[in-house]
A and B are shown apart, each in its own frame.
Chain A
Amino acid sequence: MSAAASPDPLHQLYASHHGWLHGWLRRKLGCPEHAADVAQDTFLRLIGSRDALLALCEPRAWLTTTANRLIIDRARRHAVEQAWLNELAALADPLAGFASPEEQLLAAEALAQIAAALEAVPAKAGEAFLLHYLDGLTHAEIGERLGVGPRMVRKYLVQCLVACAPAEPT
């Protein structure tokens, strides 16, 4: 972040709306810490966002829409993380194969990203993706399994990968 001069519109936006957004989130979420995190992330999302202009015209509408989306993303991420770690914990030796809890978390993060992508594509495309990249089936095997031709399998895979690509570089 550049040390911007005082008329930086982002600074102004932050100064005039951060307190309000935090209050709004606190009322929604009933948890001050969670609210503070989401408020922070919402403003971070603004930096480098392509619709920053929109944010400047309609700041509160943009902030609440973005914050809502972040809440859903976080909920999904936590659900995936929780389910994944619980599943691993249920295995006989949960740490087998994963060198460290950090590594398990990286895997959980990837799964959360994939979970978000799968919501955006047709069910068959998602299944093709998992069969190929998780289970290691070949394109032909997937086509047979899903009753579609090889071109369609390829299309499904591309579609999922595109959905997996994060919209904003992080």
Chain B
Amino acid sequence: MNRRLEETPETLAEQAADWIVRLSADEPGERRAAESGFAAWKQADPRHAAAAARLEALLGRLDHIRDNGSQAPARQALRAARLRRTPRRIGAALALGAALLLPAWLALHSTPAPVLLADLRTGSGEWAERTLADGSRLSLNGNSAVDLEFDAKTRTIALLRGEILVDVAPDRDRPFVVSTAHGSIRALGTRFLVSREADATVLSMIESRVEVSIDGQPRPLVVGAGQRLRFTSGDAGELATVDGELLETAWQRHQLVVRNEPLGNVLDQLARHRPGLLRYDAAALAGLHVSAVLPLDDTDRALQLLINNFPGLRIRTLTPYLVVVDHPKTR
């Protein structure tokens, strides 16, 4: 407790910082002088060396970020943290409140602006159901967002992210349209699921028929009950068969039903129900297909169930926010 003044951790850090700043001074002469001076200072005392090492390790990681050209993501990440300042100033109670809201808050700050401003939005693992003004029912799967544009002439739902199930109330005068970045789906009265993936929209019909207008395609396409269409801008994929009733039951039970789908796609879908990131080694998973019914309310279990079917794969939980699926031999 009776340390001399110059040996408190604070002044040690200050001295180390001072040397480190001189190391990258603009004048070459000063940099050279700092190098030898810093080395001598570190040698003088193991506590000096330790204080220097901690800062150097930190700056080394920043160098690494710069070498990878990842400055922009880094700044974005720092900005996400900076938004915490206000609650902190107001007081500990509020700051704690903010911490409790963290899951919602995380979703907020890792989300593009249109999704933030969406009329209806759910977080990971959160489901919502809403009766719309016209009597149509809209359910949102986890991590989904929609904008509603209802007026005298149209009823439009813009699916910004995720997956929705719509049960359309008939209205001859106002068509019901679900639009995505890849095209639009127009219905009179019907029930269907629309899911937005990164580069495609997947429509699964439960009841009746809809007309799909795909961006860049001259003629609309009709999709009927029990059919599934996966389309991207300018490209309609093949129609596939689905069991509409099973899909709807699964939706109600918060289950994911997949039939002979690429494992990577299934992991993408599970990822939507988890906070944080689910990464996988696409090369290791290539060619693997899976059929399964998976619990979406317990994605850890779902993941385990999936991976149990593929003994060669492993799951690594690096933090609660980063889970990696890969093939031990391919790394």
Contacts and interface: CB of A to CB of B under 8 A. Distances in A.
Interface of A: 28-30, 68, 71-72, 74-76, 78-91, 94, 96-98, 101-103, 105-116, 118-119, 130, 132-136, 138-140, 150, 154, 157-158, 161-162, 164-167, 169
A98 B71 CA distance: 13
Contacts of B275: 82
Interface residues of B, number: 63
B102 interface: yes
A85 B322 contact: yes
B14 interface: yes
A154 B71 CA distance: 22
A72 B88 contact: yes
Q: Which one of B21, B26, B275 has the greatest number of beta carbons of chain A within 10 Å? A: B21
B267 interface: no
A115 B96 contact: no
Contacts, number: 181
B74 A79 contact: no
A102 B318 contact: yes
Contacts of A94: 279
Contacts of A166: 54
B67 A97 contact: yes
B61 A110 contact: yes
B81 interface: yes
Contacts of A103: 64
B109 interface: yes
A112 B319 CA distance: 14
Interface of B: 9-10, 13-14, 16-18, 20-21, 24-26, 50-51, 54-55, 58-59, 61-82, 84-85, 88, 92, 95-96, 98-100, 102, 105-106, 109-110, 275-277, 279, 318-319, 321-322, 324
Nearest to A166: B54
B13 A111 contact: no
Contacts of A157: 17, 21
A78 B77 CA distance: 10
A103 to B, nearest CB: 7
Contacts of B82: 115, 118-119
Contacts of A110: 58, 61-62, 65
Nearest to B62: A133
A158 B79 CA distance: 21
Contacts of A130: 75, 78
A14 to B, nearest CB: 23
A146 B153 CA distance: 54
A13 to B, nearest CB: 20
Contact of B58 (A29, A72, A164): A164
Contact of B21 (A116, A118, A158): A158
A161 B106 contact: no
Contact of A139 (B13, B26, B55, B321): B26
A109 B81 CA distance: 12
Given A79-B102, A81-B321, 17 more contacts: A29-B100, A30-B100, A78-B102, A83-B110, A89-B277, A91-B73, A98-B68, A101-B318, A105-B318, A105-B319, A110-B62, A134-B62, A134-B66, A134-B75, A135-B71, A150-B26, A167-B9
B13 A82 contact: no
Contacts of A107: 61, 64-65, 70, 74
20 contacts: A75-B84, A76-B81, A79-B80, A79-B109, A81-B319, A87-B70, A88-B70, A91-B70, A97-B67, A97-B69, A105-B319, A105-B322, A107-B74, A114-B62, A133-B63, A134-B65, A139-B25, A154-B25, A158-B14, A166-B54
